[in-house]
Structure 1
Amino acid sequence: MTTTKAKDRARELEEALRARGVRITRQRAALIDVLADAEDHPDASELHRRAQAIDASVSLSTVYRTLSVLEQQNVVHRHAFEGAPSRFETADVPHHDHIIDLETGGVIEFHSERIERLQAEIAAELGYEVVRHRLELYCRKKRR
């Protein structure tokens, strides 16, 4: 872990696990470090691979169980993008939407105030207020 932000994330993840009575084992600590450092949207298999680079004894079942608890504690978000395994990111990031590159599987984060305003306007016109939303755009690069 290199940044202060990653260390703060790791501390929050550990606290969420402890709040649920989950012990912080060496294996869970490795996964927490990986999650705290991740700037992409890794799936469970990728998180497992990265955690094993820190501690070879990390099992895939530990990854899944830990992710489940962290998701229940709302400190990790699960993204179920079409046609791909669920991906994860820490919940401390500001709101953003996603573009999923259909050719590479890459996930690009973006934020648009225009889109946010338009969604609020549409909801209001229909007599609603936006509580939360998720926008996923499935795209291909334009050919020149």
Structure 2
Amino acid sequence: MKDPEQRFQELMQKLRSREYRLTPQRVALIRLLASSEGHPDAAELYRRLLEQFPTTSLATVYKTLNLLKEMGEVLEIEIDGIGGEGSRFDGNDPTPHPHLICVRCHRILDGQVSLTEEILQAVQGQSGYRVISHRLDFYGICPECQAQGAN
């Protein structure tokens, strides 16, 4: 995990350089994303933002998430296909990295391995694709769900 304050400053600088409005709500949301240890969904970010800004709308959260996603500063992890609702977001480390996703409780952990340059070159050579981004997700049952008897 990147240093949350450093990540926050990095995001703020990128938004300033593109002359985006930095409302107090947007700044607070960016701080939440930069310091998130997990992979929160939009509803969780919204609930946490409401504590400080009770008049904030859910649309504000989605607009900011979409903006950061377009800038390549937030990684969206979709879990709809495994019975989860919506997406989760990684604002602390938007670089492509593997995730371990529990199909029972929908917990998401960052994998501690990365695709090597050698693997990327092999994929490009065999397919003819020019890879501009990649993602590797592993689906399974986390240790906690296994202990509870989930299959």
| Correspondence for 1:21 among 19, 22, 28 | 19
Query: Displacement, 1:17?
Result: 2.5
Q: 1:53 to 1:129 in 2, by over 3 A?
A: same
RMSD of aligned Cα (Å): 2.8
Q: 1:68 to 1:129 in 2, by over 3 A?
A: closer
5+ residue gaps, structure 1: none
Is 1:17–1:69's contact at 8 Å kept on the other side of the alignment? no
| Correspondence for 1:45 among 43, 46, 51 | 43
Counterparts of residues 85-124 of structure 1 (less than 5 Å): 85-90=86-91, 92=93, 95-112=96-113, 116=116, 121=122, 123-124=124-125
State the percentage of identical aligned residues.
Answer: 34
Letter in 2 for 1:17: L
Is 1:30–1:55's contact at 8 Å kept on the other side of the alignment? no
2 CA distance for matches of 1:106 and 1:137?
A: 12
Query: Displacement, 1:43?
Result: 0.9
1 CA distance for matches of 2:95 and 2:70?
A: 19
5+ residue gaps, structure 2: none
Query: Displacement, 1:18?
Result: 2.5
| Corresponding position of 1:135 | 136
Letter in 2 for 1:30: A
TM-score by length of 1: 0.77
| Corresponding position of 1:9 | 7
